[in-house]
Structure 1
Amino acid sequence: MATTPGYRLDDLAPADGGAPTAETHDDAFASKLSREADIVIGVYLILIGTGSVLGNGRVLWLSYRNWAKLRPVELFVVSLAVTDVGISLFGYPFAATSSLLGRWSFGSAGCTWYGFTGFFFGTASIANMALMSIMRFMIVYKKYPGPYPTRPQTYVIIAIAWLYGLFWACAPLAGWSRYHVEPFGLSCTVDWGGFSRGAAGMSFILCLLVFCVALPVTAVVASFAGIFVIYRHAKKGVVTHLQNNPTMSKKRKKMERALTLTALAVCGGFLLAWLPYAVVGLWSAVAGVDAVPLALASAAPLFAKSSSLWNPIIYLGTNNRFRLNMCACLAKELRTQTAVHAQQLEMPARLSPRGPLALNLPAAADPQALNPPSTAGPQPDAALQTSHIL
């Protein structure tokens, strides 16, 4: 795809002093990084996207095979895997291609699409994590073995998380702020710089920080802090209605701790990846886009994108049942392939209606054994015995 020569944005600043935009100057879509950095970023995004699709695809496949046995927390992990696969398939290819070409190469419409998909899947992810954390707290707070929500209830909660992400992702499309190219020119996101350009941009950024960052993060941190306090007090005794079955109590307690560890690791990994990006976004909104160092403005979103690769690794490391199912599936595939190969080796050779008898016999077969000589009476000529086959 043809590109236009790059110029400094300072040289193309509008006469009224406003910030240059992608709509007024195509150069806003040009990379502000070195050519070597563009290639490194492109390769990085390809590796992250491929690893995310393979890892999360494996999670989805194993979940499908064991769908009836999945617990509510694991259903949330499946939902998170869908968001990771979604952004890897519908977002990263655009950014990776643009990085390799040295500029955003899909125009304003592609910029809007990329910003929408990234914001939608990201907000849906953090909403899923917040609701998953609250659910874990409620289960632990009711003490073992507090009843799980039913499957329909869990589906409704997950659907709420997805609708929450869809609402905020559609807001810029409806005219409340917009999606805009990022400062380094290779991807797009919400217009953080709109905070200082008008009331609409300012209100959207403030609401984004409150409802898409502060509240979900507070819910996650508060839920797991409450779980930690409950676990510390739970060492003093066993739940009254399980006193008659202490073995089951220990088993359930171990399972609940493992599920909580999985939820904590998934939420912690996501927040660790995305909070630096939120801080950089707030910095650019308050101080201006040009106030953020270019290296930091480009590194923060790239680090946030790595979160799509973490979840399958975390889930594999903290969930014993997932590891066992994965090993069982791999072992079953290996046994199946071995059985098919052995069957092919043991399959007898097909007889040819035209070939001589000697060529139709198996290699290990003895012609004399197949036609043993009779001890009674004279033996007929061998040609007469096989003449009906010739």
Structure 2
Amino acid sequence: MDIYASTLSPALDIGAGCYLLLLTVLSIVGNLLVLVMAFKRSSKMKPPELLSVNLALTDLGAAVTMYPLAVASAWSHHWLGGEVACTYYALVGFFFGVASIVNLTVMAIVRFIVSLDLQSPKEKITWKKVKMLCIWTWLYALIWALFPILGWGRYGPEPFGLSCSLAWGQLKHEGVSFVISMFSFNLVIPTVIIICCYFGIAIKLYITYKNSMNSHRIPNIVKLHRRLLVIAVLISVGFICFWTPYGLVSLWSVFHDSSTIPPVVSLLPCMFAKSSTVYNPLIYYFFSQSFKREVKQLSWLCLSSNLCNVSNGVNDNSIYMVSANVKPKVADRSDVQEITAVTMG
């Protein structure tokens, strides 16, 4: 039996390939926009924003290095490249997946540290520290991705034959310790940390809001952090929700007979998990007014010259200094901080 032959119908293979191609295009375009926006604002970036750039790199890396091979295999009705390509695909997928969840965990911790004193102008996370955190994220993910190559765990084809990942069905005999450790350190513990950090931030914002009621005005800093908290929570919850179905099916394959799972059932969670690389840029676009505004100002995205014109409102001109002849007014602090921290969450 050819383990790299598709167990799906040709029509379903074509459909899966088209869906993956769509994900590839959307993920590359969306995450490139995040990186372009970060580059344009590099002189104004705060250190924690580098973690959002790092997250965009993990999503972009997955889309570029994995999805094209999966699309070609789906349209060929057979996994291309054999065992070598399968190991490569599984390793890269595991690598970027772990890097993403660890990056989200670090972001939650950093945001919690920043929220401890919202009024303090002093940077609590320096550039040196955040760069070290980014490097640690990649090294941690690389170590876990290499474990199956070194003999702890194993890579192999998915049951439906058009993708490769950890060989869950074989790990029930020789890799139970790997499965338990992997899920504990790369899903359960990070999820608990993320929940605790954002719950703590929410409590801090609530206390600050209550203390400000006597002044009959909610501080701008509270409004800002509330918006960033919503973005951060949506990103973290989205990633966990996208990957949870795949994790549950994988655990079932470890502790039960994987042959009892129909190929189509194993395909859907895999496709759903891959969709996570498209999710973050959409969250930035729909929930961050400054990010949406900057995207619309990109000249190469304009459908007409009017679309790229910056409005004469204070929130735009005073921040971007578009007109040198106009004396800029003092912008609302929350608007300025959102521009410099649009992807901080």
TM-score bucket (shorter structure): 0.7 to 0.9
- CA shift at 1:72, angstroms? 4.0
1:204 aligns to what SS in structure 2? Answer: helix
* Structure 1 residue 135 displacement after superposition: 1.2
Matched, 1:114 2:83: no
One-letter code of the match for 1:166?
L
| Superposed displacement of residue 154, structure 1 | 1.2
Question: Bigger shift: 162-171 or 321-330?
Answer: 321-330
CA deviations over 1:133-182 (Å, ceiling 9, x no partner): 11112222334337441122111112211111111011111121221000
Task: From 156, 176, 190, give the equivalent of 2:132.
Answer: 156
1:210 is the counterpart of 2:184: yes
* Residues in 2 aligned to 1:329 and 1:65: alpha-carbon distance in whole angstroms: 10
RMSD of aligned residue pairs (Cα, Å): 2.5
Match of 1:304 in 2: 273
Amino acid aligned to 2:139: L
Q: Are the structure 2 counterparts of residues 145 and 327 from structure 1 closer, same or farther at C-alpha, using a change threshold of 3 Å?
A: farther
DSSP 3-state at the match of 1:69: coil
Structure 1, residues 312-358: CA drift from partner, whole Å, max 9, x if none?
Answer: 100112222212222333399766999xxxxxxxxxxxxxxxxxxxx
Equivalent position of 1:83 in the other structure: 58
Among candidates 3, 6, 17, match of residue 42 of structure 1: 17
The worse-fitting range, judged by mean Cα deviation, of 220-229 and 66-75 is 66-75
CA distance 1:122–1:331, shift in 2 (3 Å): closer
Query: 135-144 or 170-179: which moved more?
Result: 135-144
Q: Does 1:293 align with 2:256?
A: no
The answer for the alignment partner of 1:375 in structure 2 is none
Distance 2:4 2:133 in 1: 39
Match for residue 206 of structure 2 among 213, 232, 235: 232
* Alpha-carbon distance in 2 for matches of 1:173, 1:262: 36
1:73/1:263 contact within 8 Å kept: no
Q: Distance in 1 between matches of 2:116 and 2:306?
A: 45
Equivalent position amino acid for 1:280 in 2: V
CA deviation after TM superposition for structure 1 residue 232, in Å = 2.5
- 2:154 is the counterpart of 1:185: no
Given residue 195 of structure 1, which amino acid in structure 2 is its aligned partner?
L
CA separation in 2, counterparts of 1:177 and 1:195? 7
Residue 314 of structure 1 is matched in structure 2 by 283
Counterpart check, 1:250 vs 2:226: no
- CA–CA separation in structure 2 for the residues paired with 1:77 and 1:319: 14
Structure 2 CA distance, aligned partners of 1:256 and 1:156?
24
Q: In structure 2, what is the Cα distance between the partners aligned to 1:337 and 1:217?
A: 41
Measure the CA separation in 1 of the matches of 2:260 and 2:135: 39
The whole-number CA distance in structure 2 between the counterparts of 1:101 and 1:195 is 28
CA deviations 1:61-112 (Å, max 9, x no partner) are: 1111111222344322211111111111100111111110101111100000
> Could you tell me which residue of structure 1 aligns to residue 40 of structure 2?
65
Matched residues, number: 306
Percent of residue pairs identical: 33
Residues 1:267 and 2:242 aligned together: no
CA contact (8 A) 2:34 2:281 kept: yes
d(CA) in 1 for partners of 2:14, 2:204 = 49
Query: 1:73 touches 1:259 (CA, 8 Å); kept in 2?
Result: no
Displacement of 1:288 in angstroms is 2.8
Distance 2:264 2:307 in 1: 50
Task: Classify 1:238/1:154 alpha carbon distance in 2 versus 1 (closer, same or farther; 3 Å).
Answer: farther
- 1:142 alignment partner in structure 2: 117
Aligned residue in 2 for 1:221: 195
CA contact 2:118–2:221 (8 Å) conserved in 1: no
Amino acid at match of 1:149: I
- For residues 207-234 of structure 1, what are the alpha-carbon distances to aligned partners after superposition, in whole Å with 9 as ceiling and x for unaligned? 1111111111111112112222222222
Paired residues for 1:168-179 under 5 Å: 168-179=144-155
Once the two structures are superposed, residues 278-315 of structure 1 have per-residue CA deviations (whole angstroms, 9 ceiling, x without a partner) of 11111111113223332221100100000111111001
Query: How far apart, CA to CA, are the structure 2 residues paired with 1:185 and 1:158?
Result: 34
Q: Which residue of 2 aligns with 1:127?
A: 102
RCO (CA 8 Å, sep 6+): is it higher in 1 or 2?
Answer: 2
Could you tell me which residue of structure 2 aligns to residue 349 of structure 1?
A: none
Question: In the alignment, residue 126 of structure 2 is paired with which amino acid?
Answer: T
Question: 5+ residue gaps in structure 1?
Answer: 1-11, 13-26, 339-390
